[in-house]
C-alpha cells in the first residue's frame, strides 16, 4: 500500500477573455482574480486576451493592461506576454488584496 500524498495544488490558473466586450472582459477578469485571491491561491494567473487582429494590439489587451497599471497597488507582479514571446497573454502573481469590481467603468 502506497502512502497517500496530499492533493497537488495547481501552479497556474487561466481565464480566456476572447469573444468578450471590453467591459465584460474586465468584469470577468476581476471576478476570476478575486476568486483566486479569496481561495488563497498565490500562483501564476494567466489572462488570455489575444493580441488583436489589427496587428497593433487588441482592445481587450490594451484596456486590461491599462486597468492593471492604474491599480498596480492592488495587483502583484505583472508580466506582459511579449517578454514570453506571446503577446496574447498577460501573467499575474496575485497579492492578498481583492480587486474591487467597481474599478472599471465604461
Write out pLDDT tens, residues 28-49: 999 999 999 999 998 999 999 9
Q: Which of 10, 80, 70 is nearest to 42 (CA)?
A: 10
* Nine cell digits for residue 95: 497579492
Task: Quote the CA–CA distance of 93 and 23 in Å, as a whole number.
Answer: 22
Architecture category of domain 12-97 in CATH = 2-Layer Sandwich (3.30)
**The pLDDT of residue 64 is above 90:** yes
Write down the domain spans for the chain: 12-97
**The pLDDT of residue 68 is above 70:** yes
Task: Quote the CA–CA distance of 14 and 29 in Å, as a whole number.
Answer: 10
- Is residue 75 a contact partner of residue 68, using CB atoms and an 8 Å limit? yes
Amino acid at each position: 500500500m502506497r502512502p497517500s500524498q496530499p492533493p497537488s495544488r495547481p501552479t497556474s490558473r487561466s481565464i480566456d477573455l476572447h469573444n468578450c466586450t471590453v467591459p465584460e472582459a474586465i468584469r470577468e477578469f476581476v471576478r476570476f482574480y478575486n476568486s483566486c485571491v479569496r481561495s488563497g491561491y498565490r500562483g501564476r494567473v494567466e489572462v488570455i486576451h489575444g493580441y488583436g487582429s489589427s496587428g497593433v494590439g487588441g482592445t481587450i489587451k490594451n484596456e486590461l493592461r491599462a486597468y492593471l497599471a492604474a491599480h498596480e497597488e492592488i495587483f502583484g507582479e505583472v508580466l506582459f506576454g511579449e517578454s514570453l514571446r506571446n503577446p496574447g497573454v498577460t501573467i499575474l502573481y496575485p497579492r492578498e488584496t481583492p480587486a474591487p469590481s467597481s474599478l472599471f467603468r465604461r
